[in-house]
Structure 1
Amino acid sequence: MASYVALLRAINVGGSGTLPMAELKAICVATGLARVRTYIASGNVVFESAQPVATIKAAIEARLHADAGKPIGVTLRSAAEMAAVLAGNPFGEAPPNRCFAVFLDEPPPADALEGARGRVDEELRLGRREIYVRCPTGIGRSKLRIPAAQAGTARNMNTVAKLAELAAAYG
């Protein structure tokens, strides 16, 4: 069995996108995932499975849609891929709470950063299936909008590091 991280889109601790983590864990267990563990209330799940990635993604999304009554996007990364995202952070010298990765299902287009709007002091770089962003004045203050990132979900580097650690421990 391989270990994975599932990142849910638009799930957070407040507002209309809330999903109790106990409920999320139960959904994942019901889809046949093993050793399911959630991490902070923002839609992060670490688990093991022998199923193909596409099967896992489809099963989680179908179950979430049935339970929540609306589609909830899920992006998956293997333990090795999550470690590579962390290692590939081009802003490694910056505080991890001021940097984040936007996780995408597909590689971002080469011109993905050209459409960015609201940019003040943010720095952006393309990754394999991520867009890395550094916000020197803080993520909460940023007005940055990246159209190519709309289908993705973002996590700060503290969260990426913890998820990489948890997924690696399953191996």
Structure 2
Amino acid sequence: MATTYAALLRGINVSGHRKVPMAELRSLLEGLGHRNVRTYLQSGNAVFTTDRTDASEDELTTELEDAVEERFGFRVDCLVRDAAYLRAVADACPFPAAELEGKQLHAVYCSAPVTPDRFAALDREAFLPEDFALGDRVLYLYVPDGLGRSRLGDAIARPAVTKGLVATGRNWNTVLKLVEMTEES
């Protein structure tokens, strides 16, 4: 049985650094035996289908990270998540997503569960009206003025909070587009 996944690459094509052209990423994923490969934007979003029932998300992630390093000469942290997970993240959003602009809401996908103790040192009141909520390997981030101006986003990205995690964020428009793309396959 085939499964459709999204691959989320962290920190590529930012300010001309760590360039991974999307056509080459599609070719790389096809070379790994995946099909129906499509990319979205230039920021490291790919959707693919695989018939491999023996591979876990973690195994697919490691294969992709190794292949990117071999092809481009640098390692890129990646997360691979299936269509059902992406749908569940969108459906579980605790913020009024339909009422917000895409830039005001973000999903920060994480490689492991995010627990409240990681954020215990943050004074949430100091960041209001910005806020966050924890989900299944995801942090929902509400930033009414956008992420570029977010003090909470900066605080959450600090190594003390993200230590030991691969974390990569997507704005809500991208979250929904990836759900749509994985469900089309």
Report the TM-score, using the length of structure 2 for normalisation: 0.84
User: How far is 1:13 from its partner?
Assistant: 4.9
Aligned counterparts of 1:19 and 1:116: Cα–Cα separation in 2: 35
**What residue number does 1:49 align with?**
50
Q: Which amino acid aligns with 1:165?
A: E
**What residue number does 1:61 align with?**
65
Q: Does 1:33 align with 2:29?
A: no
**What residue number does 1:151 align with?**
166
For the 8 Å contact 2:6–2:48, the answer to whether it is kept is yes
For the 8 Å contact 1:124–1:134, the answer to whether it is kept is yes
For the 8 Å contact 2:58–2:80, the answer to whether it is kept is no
Structure of larger gyration radius: 2
For this pair of structures, how many residues does the alignment match? 170
**What residue number does 1:133 align with?**
141
> SS state of the match for residue 16, structure 1?
coil
Q: Which amino acid aligns with 2:143?
A: C
Aligned counterparts of 1:120 and 1:109: Cα–Cα separation in 2: 19
In the alignment, structure 2 segments of 5+ residues that lack a partner are none
Q: How does 1:1-171 map to 2 (within 5 A)?
A: 1-51=2-52, 52=55, 53-91=57-95, 92=97, 93-116=99-122, 120-121=127-128, 122-143=130-151, 144-146=154-156, 147=158, 148-149=161-162, 151-170=166-185
Deviates more, 1:64-73 or 1:1-10: 64-73
Identity within the alignment, %: 34
> SS state of the match for residue 17, structure 1?
coil
Q: Which amino acid aligns with 2:32?
A: T
Aligned counterparts of 1:145 and 1:19: Cα–Cα separation in 2: 28
Deviates more, 1:117-126 or 1:14-23: 117-126
User: How far is 1:67 from its partner?
Assistant: 1.7
User: How far is 1:31 from its partner?
Assistant: 1.0
Instruction: Give the helix-richer structure, 1 or 2.
Output: 2
**Taking structure 1 as reference, are residues 142 and 2 closer, same or farther at Cα in structure 2, changes over 3 Å only?**
same
Q: Which amino acid aligns with 1:21?
A: M
For the 8 Å contact 2:78–2:166, the answer to whether it is kept is no
Q: Which amino acid aligns with 1:6?
A: A
Aligned counterparts of 2:139 and 2:39: Cα–Cα separation in 1: 24
In the alignment, structure 1 segments of 5+ residues that lack a partner are none
User: How far is 1:116 from its partner?
Assistant: 4.3
Q: Which amino acid aligns with 2:112?
A: E
Report the TM-score, using the length of structure 1 for normalisation: 0.90
